[in-house]
């Protein structure tokens, strides 16, 4: 935890915007043509922060527990880094921060999938 906190403090000043913190398909409202028109469900982890935090979390939570989750996270991380200009190491750091702030929000202990997922991000 102390390494992650120190690394976050060492980041240069970053741009800020509203960060949803749980940007997954069910939280994106599409119109009839399939174009995104709104983001729903603000509240879980909504705050003001670096847009790279949103990209980092979105890359990881799109497929958290599936057999190809690590591959999907890596692919989305590379895509977001390339297309949005975020450094991959910053995205990895923000995922660790997300793990620290959400590890106990969903389940109640080490047998919960979210807890294990967060612990793995911190290893």
Q: Is the pLDDT of residue 68 over 70?
A: yes
The dotted CATH code for 2-122 is 3.90.1200.10
Q: Stretch 20-36: mean pLDDT, rounded?
A: 88
CA distance 16 to 10: 16
Prediction pTM value: 0.85
Q: Count the neighbouring beta carbons within 10 Å of the beta carbon of residue 30.
A: 11
H/E element, 69: helix 69-84
Q: Is the pLDDT of residue 93 over 90?
A: yes
Q: Which 8-state DSSP code applies to residue 16?
A: -
Domain extent listing, the chain:
2-122
Q: Across all residues in the chain, what is the average pLDDT?
A: 89
On whether the CB atoms of residues 58 and 24 are closer than 8 A, the answer is yes
């Amino acid at each position: 935890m102390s390494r992650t906190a120190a690394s976050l403090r060492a980041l240069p000043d970053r741009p800020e915007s509203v960060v949803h913190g749980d940007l997954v398909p069910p939280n994106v409202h599409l119109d009839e043509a399939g174009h995104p028109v709104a983001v729903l469900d603000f509240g879980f982890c909504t705050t003001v922060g670096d847009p790279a935090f949103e990209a980092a979390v979105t890359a990881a939570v799109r497929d958290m527990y599936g057999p190809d989750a690590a591959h999907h996270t890596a692919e989305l991380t590379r895509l977001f880094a390339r297309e949005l200009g975020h450094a991959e190491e910053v995205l990895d750091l923000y995922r660790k921060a997300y793990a620290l702030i959400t590890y106990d929000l969903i389940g109640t202990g080490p047998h919960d999938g979210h807890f294990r997922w967060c612990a793995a991000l911190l290893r």
